Amino acid sequence: MTLASRAFAQLATWPDLRQAVPSCGQGQAVVSAKGEIVHFHSDRDVDLRLTDRAIRRFARDLKRSGVIRIVPGSPWVTLRLDAASDVDLLLTLVSVALQAQQFPPDTVDRPLMGCNDQRGAGFVKADLGAFW
């Protein structure tokens, strides 16, 4: 079982979440009553939708983790699942995302746009560009 499939299976047991087809059409998604939360694009790359408020609050820690890519202007962050601890981080951030949905939108929250996979912002695509 891959780390992504393990995370997906765990999230499938959460009462507020259900499996869906992602709006980008790539992989699998997990959604709440208020919209898409997670897109699983591969065995390792996952896009997670956070509010701007949450991204601002945790930006330093997210960047420091080394497994998260923050794309400027995007409400999605991309996680690279390389270890069991990365799955734990994803589950924690999904909880943060669900809690954030309970509050009125931040005045600077951007409208929901396509996930980072559609922007070519995943780790593999971005990392290849760094070498050329």
pLDDT tens digits, 45-82: 999 998 888 888 888 887 787 888 888 778 888 999 99
Report yes or no on whether pTM surpasses 0.85: no
Q: Does domain 3-99 have CATH number 1.25.10?
A: no
* 115 vs 35, more confident: 35
Q: Distances from the Cα of 121 to the Cαs of 11, 22, 56, 64, 102, in angstroms?
A: 24, 17, 19, 18, 28
The predicted structure's pLDDT at residue 87 = 95
Q: Are 73 and 87 in contact (CB under 8 A)?
A: no
Residue 25: pLDDT band with limits 50, 70, 90: confident
Q: What is the residue extent of each domain of the chain?
A: 3-99
Residue range 89-110, pLDDT digits in tens: 999 999 999 988 777 665 554 5
127 Cα distance to chain centroid: 18
